[in-house]
Amino acid sequence: MSEHAHEHEQDEDAEQAEGPSDEERRAWRLAALRLVRQYPDPVLKNPAVPVGESDDELRALTARMTDIMRASHGVGLAAPQIGVSRRVLVYGMRDDDEVHVLVNPELVERSEETEVENEGCLSLLGGELSIPVERHVRVRVSATDAAGEPVDYEAEGLEARVIQHEIDHLDGVLIVDRAENDERKGALRELRLRSV
């Protein structure tokens, strides 16, 4: 999921004084986005395969996914988005937040309450396309982490939205698939025009 779909407050002056320049960050983002599969890549439409046991390969995959997500300014990334058809996702709401790793995640509870908000996706024009999507306000997710330890917790608001977005990727579902007819037609038209 792209962070362009929602606002984050950051102290630009402090960031520039302590970290890389805006130009360096843009270059890193473009390099990272080259590693993210873009619509209409078929891997984005196919359900991912469950992961067996946790191993060094899985830990390397989640570390790579985290690096790509951070460098591309995303808040979430699913393995199929980098061409790996495995049920693994990572997410972190802000640059300084802990990155959560969910392996074989399942939504075991969903609130009845839903809300519609704009979402972007790193696999749809690098996050530049924004589409209104209805999501459950609260969810409970059950999974394992990269070390194979069980994970079970509730999330709400933006965190719940990001988890649902990334699990959709594991099921071969994109935000255009969840959009209302008019929104879907407009988004698909823009994708066709700009993906050539």
pLDDT of 60 reads 97
Into which CATH architecture does domain 3-194 fall? Alpha-Beta Complex (3.90)
Per-residue model confidence as pLDDT tens digits over 108-121: 999 999 999 999 99
Q: How far is 38 from 148, CA to CA, in rounded Å?
A: 30
Please indicate whether residue 166 is annotated as part of the active site. Answer: yes
What is the rounded average pLDDT of the residues 86-112?
94
How many helices and strands in the chain, by DSSP H and E? Answer: 6, 7
What is the rounded average pLDDT of the residues 74-90?
97
Q: Which of 118, 102, 110 is closest to 158 using CA atoms?
A: 118
What is the rounded average pLDDT of the residues 124-144?
96
What is the rounded average pLDDT of the residues 22-30?
85
Tell me the two tokens of residue 17: 């004084």
Please give the full DSSP string across 161-187, using - where no structure is assigned. Answer: HHHHHHHHHHTT--HHHHS-HHHHHHH
Q: Which of 127, 117, 134, 129 is closest to 168 using CA atoms?
A: 134
* Single pTM value for the model: 0.88
> Considering 166, 180, 183, 190, which one is annotated as catalytic?
166
